[in-house]
């Protein structure tokens, strides 16, 4: 399979020099070596790949030019919760649990997994609940839980205060 002729080896080297990623630069240099007449095996070795991988990049380069050599990562599967359900979950996490209704004093992933299953009918793994919370803008840091029977006046009286100088 031959390379498209609208780019010279020098053009590809120039593009490789200004490439944003190292992998794009390697691919461009391998293709420049092919245009210079180097064997496909040697050109692939320059880019740190095998001949079949170089052949795949040649196909992508012929179809889309240098833009075809960029990595195109998949976004993954779409969320099983709709945007409205995610907003409702975020509001629920932000408000915190109701001790009488939810039976907990602070949210844990296992508790949220149960609530998501009950409320939305979607069964996530506990680890994915953490990923979902991260995507919604929450961190792992949580406020220190406060015991429901705690008396605020006694806590304030117990606190040590320094004398003013």
Convert the pLDDT of each residue in 136-153 to its tens digit.
999 877 667 778 788 888
Task: Report the distance separating Cα 142 and Cα 96, nearest Å.
Answer: 10
Residues 21, 60, single domain; the answer is: yes
Residues 95, 44, single domain; the answer is: no
Contacts for 7 with CB less than 8 Å, ≥ 6 apart:
15, 35, 65, 66
- 122 domain residue, yes or no: yes
Residues 51, 101, single domain; the answer is: no
- Domain of residue 137 covers 83-141
Tell me what percent of the residues of the chain surpass a pLDDT of 70.
Answer: 98
- pLDDT score for 133: 95
Contact 65, 57 (CB under 8 A): no
Contact 42, 100 (CB under 8 A): no
Contact 3, 62 (CB under 8 A): yes
Residues 100, 64, single domain; the answer is: no
Domain boundary among 43, 69, 95: 69
Residues 14, 63, single domain; the answer is: yes
- pLDDT score for 76: 85
- 107 domain residue, yes or no: yes
- 22 domain residue, yes or no: yes
pLDDT at position 155 over 90:
no
3-class secondary structure, 44: helix
- 78 domain residue, yes or no: no
Residues 133, 102, single domain; the answer is: yes
Neighbouring C-beta atoms of residue 25, cutoff 10 Å: 19
Task: Report the distance separating Cα 26 and Cα 128, nearest Å.
Answer: 35
Contact 153, 113 (CB under 8 A): no
- 158 domain residue, yes or no: no
If one counts the domains in the chain, the total is 2
Write out the two tokens for 117. 């299953």
Residues 61, 92, single domain; the answer is: no
Average pLDDT along the chain: 92
- pLDDT score for 1: 66
pTM for this model (two decimals) = 0.53
Residues 16, 63, single domain; the answer is: yes
Residues 13, 62, single domain; the answer is: yes
Per-residue pLDDT band for 162 (boundaries 50, 70, 90) equals confident
pLDDT at position 161 over 80:
no
Sign of the Cα pseudo-torsion (72, 75, 76, 78, in order): negative
* 47 secondary structure, DSSP code: T
Residues 54, 92, single domain; the answer is: no
- 155 domain residue, yes or no: no
pLDDT in tens, 9-39: 999 999 999 999 999 999 999 999 999 999 9
């Amino acid at each position: 399979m031959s390379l498209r002729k609208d780019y010279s080896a020098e053009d590809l080297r120039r593009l490789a020099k200004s490439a944003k990623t190292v992998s794009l630069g390697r691919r461009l240099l391998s293709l420049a070596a092919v245009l210079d007449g180097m064997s496909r095996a040697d050109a692939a070795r320059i880019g740190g790949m095998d001949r079949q991988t170089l052949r795949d990049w040649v196909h992508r380069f012929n179809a889309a030019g240098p833009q075809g050599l960029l990595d195109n990562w998949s976004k993954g599967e779409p969320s099983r919760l709709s945007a409205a359900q995610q907003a409702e979950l975020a509001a629920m996490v932000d408000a915190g649990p109701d001790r009488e209704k939810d039976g907990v004093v602070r949210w844990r992933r296992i508790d949220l997994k149960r609530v998501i299953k009950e409320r939305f009918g979607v069964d996530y793994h506990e680890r994915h609940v953490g990923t979902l919370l991260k995507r919604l803008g929450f961190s792992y840091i949580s406020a220190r839980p406060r015991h429901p029977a705690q008396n605020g006046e006694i806590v304030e009286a117990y606190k040590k205060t320094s004398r003013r100088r």
